[in-house]
Amino acid sequence: MERHHIFGGANRPISEKYGLVVYLCGERCHRTGEYSAHQNEEVAQYLHEYGQKKAMRENNWTVEQFREIFGKSYL
């Protein structure tokens, strides 16, 4: 299992801060598989939506508050 930050790039440290990570199997689910988080836009979008909803629920944020922290809304 590999640790995947739901929001990467410049938002990776923020993902870490708020626990917005998931554990995925290495090749097939995380990095190189047809339906992996880094190769499939639909899977990435699903994870972004999941992560945003989780962050909003756990921190009692509005969509606008999420957008202020992460730069955009994925919903």
Other CB atoms within 10 Å distance of the CB of residue 16: 13
* pLDDT at position 46 over 90: yes
Sign of CA dihedral 15, 21, 27, 28: negative
Please state the rounded mean pLDDT for residues 41-52: 97
**pLDDT tens, position by position, 20-33:** 999 998 888 888 88
Domain assignment present for residue 36? The answer is yes
Asked whether residue 75 is domain-assigned, the answer is no
Nearest-CA neighbor of 46 among 29, 26, 66, 71? Answer: 29
> Is residue 57 assigned to a domain?
yes
Q: What is the pLDDT of residue 60?
A: 98
Q: Determine contact, residues 14/70, Cβ cutoff 8 Å.
A: yes
| Residue 13 belongs to a domain | yes
Domain that holds residue 10: 2-69
